[in-house]
Amino acid sequence: MGNVIIMDHPLIKHKIGIIRDSSTGTKEFREMISEIAMLETYESTRNLSLEEVEIETPMAATTVERLAGKKLAIVPILRAGLGMVSGMQMLIPSAKVGHIGMYRDHETLEPVEYYCKLPADIEDRDVFVVDPMLATGGSACDAIAQLKKRGCKNIRFLCIIAAPEGLKRLREEHPDVDITVGALDDHLNEIGYIVPGLGDAGDRIFGTK
Ligand code: PRP
Ligand code: URA
């Protein structure tokens, strides 16, 4: 069974407070999304494996630890997941980036896939699927199913705000996936928005409303 980490850190709490505030503008919103994603990446990479390497410091020969050369990929769910990529690349700069485009049908709340472009060797990589919002869980579950169909075995999911309904569904449909959540909110409203949430993440990142 995968782990679920609900972040409990003052920096993340502070930054999530800023993005929840409806008076926060696009520039600051985008910066905060990127910074929160970076902090979540720090936590969700805690179990990456290391290997010992012999090196020489200016003073002596010694043994150091390095990441064991595991190949990584970041897969944002378009659009809003794109906002998390720059912060993650600060910590894992050599990760390849794939894209899965999905939007929720406003009537049914079912995700509709409109784009998918992944690194050719995606099945050999540890994959971080990222989207700021986990609401019904439909988009995350479908994106992860798509990656599993392509042969991916080690998948983590990172989001900034989750509804209990979406977290439950993701755990049920993909129990093997490690999940990192910035904040677990109260509920989904009747039109599928997270409460208290932050509104429409894509519109707030890209200034489209
Ligand atoms: C939002 C969000 C997630 C999805 C979450 O995307 O970024 O992808 O909704 O909802 P779910 O858990 O119920 O599937 P949206 O459909 O608004 O598309 P956008 O990012 O292009 O704005
Ligand atoms: N997508 C969003 O952007 N916000 C929500 O609250 C739910 C889904």
Half-sphere exposure of 140 (CA within 13 A, CB side): 36
Q: Is 108 a catalytic residue?
A: yes
Minimum CA distance residue for ligand 2 atom 2: 200
3-state DSSP of 177-205: CEEEEEEECCEECCCCCEECCCCCHHHHH
Residue 4 CB: number of other CB atoms within 10 A? 16
Alpha carbon of 140 to ligand 1 centroid (Å): 9
Alpha carbon of 139 to ligand 1 centroid (Å): 7
Choosing from 121, 186, 203, 208, the catalytic residue is 203
DSSP state of 175: T
Those residues with Cβ within 8 angstroms of residue 96's Cβ, 6 or more apart along the chain or in another chain = 71, 72, 73, 74, 119, 122, 125
Q: What is the pTM of this model?
A: 0.96
Ligand 1 pocket test, pick from 84, 102, 142, 174 with the greatest ligand atom count within 8 Å of Cβ, gives 102
What is the percent of the chain with per-residue pLDDT over 90, rounded to a whole number? 95
Give the number of residues written for the chain.
209
Residue 88 CB: number of other CB atoms within 10 A? 25
Region 174-197: mean pLDDT is 97
pLDDT band at 1 (very low <50, low <70, confident <90, very high): confident
Q: What is the mean pLDDT of the chain?
A: 97
Which residues lie with the beta carbon below 6 Å from any ligand 2 atom? 80, 133, 135, 193-194, 197, 200-202
Say yes or no to pLDDT of 69 above 90: no
Name residue 24's amino acid.
T
What gap in Å lies between CA 45 and CA 158, rounded to an integer?
11
Q: Is 178 a catalytic residue?
A: no
Give the pair of three-digit tokens for residue 191. Answer: 């039109």
Burial of 49 (C-beta count, 10 Å sphere; 0-12/13-18/19+)? exposed
Which residues lie with the beta carbon below 6 Å from any ligand 1 atom? 77-80, 102-104, 109, 111, 131, 133-140, 166, 192, 200-202
Q: Is 176 a catalytic residue?
A: no
Alpha carbon of 197 to ligand 2 centroid (Å): 8
pLDDT number for residue 166: 98
pLDDT number for residue 70: 79
What gap in Å lies between CA 188 and CA 192, rounded to an integer?
5
pLDDT number for residue 66: 95
- Where does residue 113 fall: left (phi above 0), alpha (psi -120 to 50 degrees), or beta otherwise? beta
Range list of H helices, the chain: 10-20, 26-44, 82-91, 138-149, 164-173, 201-206
Region 158-178: mean pLDDT is 98
The per-residue pLDDT for range 29-62, each reduced to its tens digit, is 999 999 999 999 999 999 999 999 999 999 999 9
Choosing from 21, 66, 105, 108, the catalytic residue is 108
C-alpha distance from residue 23 to each of 18, 26, 132, 198, 199 (Å): 9, 10, 19, 11, 12
pLDDT number for residue 209: 85
Region 187-203: mean pLDDT is 97
As beta bridge partners, residue 64 has 53
Q: Is 104 a catalytic residue?
A: yes
Region 170-176: mean pLDDT is 98
Give the pair of three-digit tokens for residue 9. Answer: 């850190």
Alpha carbon of 104 to ligand 1 centroid (Å): 6
pLDDT number for residue 120: 96
